[in-house]
Amino acid sequence: MPGIGGGLEKPAGNFVEQPPCCTAAAMNAYFTPAKAAQVRNMRIMDAAHPGAIDEAAEILRAGGLVAFPTETVYGLGADACNPLAVARIFEVKRRPEFDPIIVHVAHPAAAAEYGDVAGELARQLVERFWPGPLTLVVRKTERVPSIVTAGLNTVAIRMPAHPAALALIRTAGRAVAAPSANLFGYVSPTEAAHVAEQLGREVDLILDGGRCAVGIESTVLSLAGPAPQILRAGGVTKEEIEQVIGRVEFGTAAPAAPESPGQLKRHYATRTPLSIEEEEAVRADHRPGEKVGLLAFAAPPDPTKYAAVEVLSGSGNLREAAANLFAALRRLDSLGLDRLVARPVPARGLGLAIMDRLRRCAAGSCQEDQRDQDGRYVAGL
């Protein structure tokens, strides 16, 4: 893509009441035609439009919030060194303050202002994967407010690989703290419209940079302990990391106190109950009149038995499946179905990240033992 000076090439593709908490009932009440009408006049600017980056940067410098595209998902950004601006992220997302936020920089050299990236492992990883979907957890500097790190002595840092994100950070002249631009616990946004649907005019400006190419969040790798650990699977695979620094292990899947974003057991949830099932289990589980949506890695042998089907990759490509995951979940979730079933994907490479998101989504949805006496699922997250 061309740089900002020559214009961005667009890839394919002030208060709105929020729900009091991220329960399924609250989110179902929130996503109504009336709410959709409220957000039609919100401020969305094409990131390639002349002056869009400058305006967004000025909002950040003034302590405002800007939703912006990255290669992974859309982020909800604030000046990383402005505690009051960062506090507004937690307020708008309904995000618990014990969940750390990633600091985004526009150049590898800038990372040293916020964390200890001087070690050899960090140098090798930065050289190979930045800009790109790899977040490093390292010891933080005094410059980082505790609200960004949830009081931890470590900070999560990455350099995104989207021209609009990099231009925004450079023009603002400061690092940007940004989680995904959605209500906490819900499916992450991969298009500007997804941000508008959930956050409305709570955001001062939404930069539209098209559909996110990677489509799932960054891999989070901790270098703060005695050995490197993957805290969250994401857009860079375990195998790719090991090619650079040798063997790495996965950390605790759902620690009591998160060390990085994306570690909570319940996350990335749909409003519609979702479960992960093999094909045989799906066939045995249908109930008369039940409207079931299917999320499949490849085309199912009998799609007509489902009310709706989303295929993540017609060619069986895990990278394509990852890029399509959140958008496919959103489409199924918008149809008013009784429940969703997801087929497992191969547990290798990016398939590990996809399955991580699906398991956390299922944990945030109703499970098999949450049916009423008529066999219907009880709403809840």
> Could you give all domains of the chain from N- to C-terminal order, each with its CATH number?
4-216 (3.90.870.10), 274-363 (3.40.50.11030)
Give the C-alpha distances (Å, rounded to integers) separating 227 from 78, 138, 249. 31, 12, 8
Provide the pLDDT for residue 370.
36
- Per the prediction, the chain carries an average pLDDT of 84
Provide the pLDDT for residue 199.
93
* Tokens (6 digits) for 49: 């439009």
Mean predicted confidence (pLDDT) in 180-200: 93
Q: Considering the chain, what percentage of its residues have pLDDT values greater than 90?
A: 68
Provide the pLDDT for residue 278.
83
Question: What are φ and ψ of residue 198, in 5° steps?
Answer: -100, -45
Contact present, 85 and 75 (Cβ < 8 Å): no
Lowest mean pLDDT among 5-9, 177-181, 197-201: 5-9
**Is 108 a residue whose pLDDT tops 90?**
yes
Residues composing the chain: 381
**Within its chain, how far is the Cα of 37 from the centroid?**
25
Mean predicted confidence (pLDDT) in 180-197: 93
Provide the pLDDT for residue 305.
87
Please tell me the distance from the alpha carbon of residue 8 to that of residue 28, in angstroms, as a whole number. 36
* Tokens (6 digits) for 153: 């002595």
Q: What tens digit of pLDDT does each residue of 162-181 get?
A: 999 999 999 999 999 999 99
Q: Which pTM does this prediction carry?
A: 0.81
DSSP labels, 298-365: S--S-GGGSSEEEES-TT--HHHHHHHHHHHHHHHHTT--SEEEE----SSTHHHHHHHHHHHHHHTS
Q: What tens digit of pLDDT does each residue of 66-76 get?
A: 999 999 999 99
**Is 112 a residue whose pLDDT tops 50?**
yes
Q: What tens digit of pLDDT does each residue of 306-338 get?
A: 999 999 999 999 999 999 999 999 999 999 999
Mean predicted confidence (pLDDT) in 343-363: 92
